[in-house]
């Protein structure tokens, strides 16, 4: 079984990737998307979103990190894919799943699920440009407004030569509302020979098993669930017990040191509060602590509460 850490814009940055891969259980990370418009981006753009490129494209615990691109222009995506691989990215991931309105309005992310031909052209251009030994993966949802084009989209992705496909088992219209329709992934597997990774609504080891049963996929991608339970990947893969609240608090204090002394330190109070919104799902204690913590805007005060 392989478990991939999902890309989550503004949440799973290099600090979070480092923290969660230290906890263990992950085999691959995908970066937040690099937005491609009509230019070849400078190396500094890739280093900003994926500083692991300066360290062999792996986290400090040795987990590979793959650059994700988002855009609508096949040739520009291909040129930027080549640059990312030249900088060290172990392959390229293409984002066709982002549901954000601002992204979709500029014809990026999930809105392209309305255009199977565009999916084909993008993936083919990137696959043709990137060396054959570097995988080209894609992430999709089941559709934009509905599932009417999902099998056509998967066929376009297959014919274009993608090496791997991650399916978030909801449409853009579904957003992140439960449930995830894992049964659709089993239908997708019937029409393609591309390896599939299942994604969506995996919060614990039981969810993972049910997803695997209904989707027919052994390999999984987890995102929000790993924020709610930091050792979720270990509970799924190695039958570890869920991390205790005390262990989680210690992890939060450690993460605080990362955040405060990074170049994003000024955002620390908002970032830690954002993480608590996920932790509250798994730990009742997080709800109680959040009531006290949310009043503070100073990093020292927040760390004092965490460490108490």
Check if the beta carbon of residue 140 is closer than 8 Å to that of residue 165: yes
Under the phi-then-psi rule, with left for phi > 0, alpha for psi from -120 to 50, and beta for the rest, what region is 175? left
Give the pLDDT of residue 177.
96
* Tokens representing residue 105 in the block: 């309005």
The answer to whether 276 and 289 are in contact (CB under 8 A) is yes
> How many of the other CB atoms lie within 10 Å of CB of 46?
22
How far is it, in rounded angstroms, from Cα 263 to Cα 51?
12
Residue 95: phi and psi, rounded to 5, are -95, 110
User: How far apart (Å, rounded) are the C-alpha atoms in residues 69 and 279?
Assistant: 29
Compute the distance between CA of residue 212 and CA of residue 60 in angstroms, rounded to an integer. 29
Please give the distance of CA 186 from its chain centroid, rounded to a whole number: 21
Is the pLDDT score of 308 beyond 90? no
Please give the Cα distance from 7 to 44 (Å, whole number): 20
Contacts of 102 (CB under 8 A, 6+ apart): none
pLDDT at 264: 62
Q: Does residue 267 register a pLDDT over 90? A: no
**Mean pLDDT within 90-111:** 92
Residue 300's pLDDT band, with cuts at 50, 70 and 90, is confident
Name every residue whose Cβ is closer than 8 Å to that of residue 163 and which is 6 or more positions away in sequence: 91, 135, 136, 137, 194, 195
Output the pLDDT for position 254.
Answer: 87
pLDDT at 77: 98
Phi, psi of 148 (to 5 degrees): -65, -25
Q: What is the pLDDT of residue 6?
A: 98
pLDDT digits (tens, 9 = 90+) for 8-52: 998 999 999 999 999 999 999 999 999 999 999 999 999 999 999
- The mean pLDDT value for 106-120 works out to 95
Catalytic, 98? Answer: yes
Task: Specify the range with the lowest mean pLDDT, choosing from 133-147, 214-228, 282-296.
Answer: 282-296
The model's pTM: 0.95
| Residue 152: count of CB within 10 angstroms of its CB | 15
Residue 196's DSSP bridge partners are 165
Catalytic pick from 29, 50, 98, 211? 98
Question: Which distant-in-sequence residues (6+ apart) come within 8 Å of 304 by Cβ?
Answer: none
Neighbouring C-alpha atoms within 13 Å toward the C-beta of 264: 19
Contact yes or no for 171/144 (Cβ under 8 A): yes
Give yes or no for residue 262 having a pLDDT over 70.
no
d(Cα 92, Cα 84) in Å, to the nearest integer? 8
Average pLDDT over residues 154-172: 98
């Amino acid at each position: 079984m392989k478990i991939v850490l999902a890309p989550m814009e503004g949440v799973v940055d290099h600090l979070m990737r480092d923290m969660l891969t230290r906890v263990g259980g992950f085999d691959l990370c995908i970066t937040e998307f690099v937005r491609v418009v009509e230019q070849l981006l400078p190396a500094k753009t890739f280093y900003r979103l994926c500083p692991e490129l300066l360290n062999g494209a792996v986290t400090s615990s040795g987990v590979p990190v793959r650059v994700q691109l988002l855009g609508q222009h096949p040739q520009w995506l291909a040129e930027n894919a080549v640059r990312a691989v030249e900088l060290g990215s172990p392959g390229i991931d293409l984002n066709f799943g982002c549901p954000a309105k601002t992204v979709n309005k500029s014809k990026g992310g999930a809105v392209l699920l309305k255009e199977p031909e565009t999916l084909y052209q993008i993936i083919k251009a990137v696959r043709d440009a990137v060396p054959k030994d570097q995988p080209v993966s894609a992430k999709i949802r089941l559709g934009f407004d509905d599932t009417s084009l999902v099998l056509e989209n998967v066929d376009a992705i297959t014919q274009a030569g993608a090496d791997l496909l991650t399916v978030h088992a909801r449409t853009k219209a579904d957003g992140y509302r439960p449930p995830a329709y894992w049964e659709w992934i089993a239908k997708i597997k019937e029409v393609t020979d591309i390896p599939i990774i299942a994604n969506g609504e995996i919060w614990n080891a039981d969810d993972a098993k049910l997803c695997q049963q209904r989707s027919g996929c052994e390999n999984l991608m987890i995102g929000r669930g790993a924020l709610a339970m930091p050792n979720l990947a270990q509970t799924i893969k190695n039958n570890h017990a869920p991390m205790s609240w005390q262990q989680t608090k210690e992890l939060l204090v450690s993460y605080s040191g990362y955040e405060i002394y990074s170049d994003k330190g000024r955002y620390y109070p908002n970032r830690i509060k954002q993480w608590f919104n996920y932790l509250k799902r798994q730990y009742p204690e997080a709800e109680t602590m959040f009531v006290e913590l949310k009043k503070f805007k100073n990093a020292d005060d927040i760390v004092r509460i965490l460490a108490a």
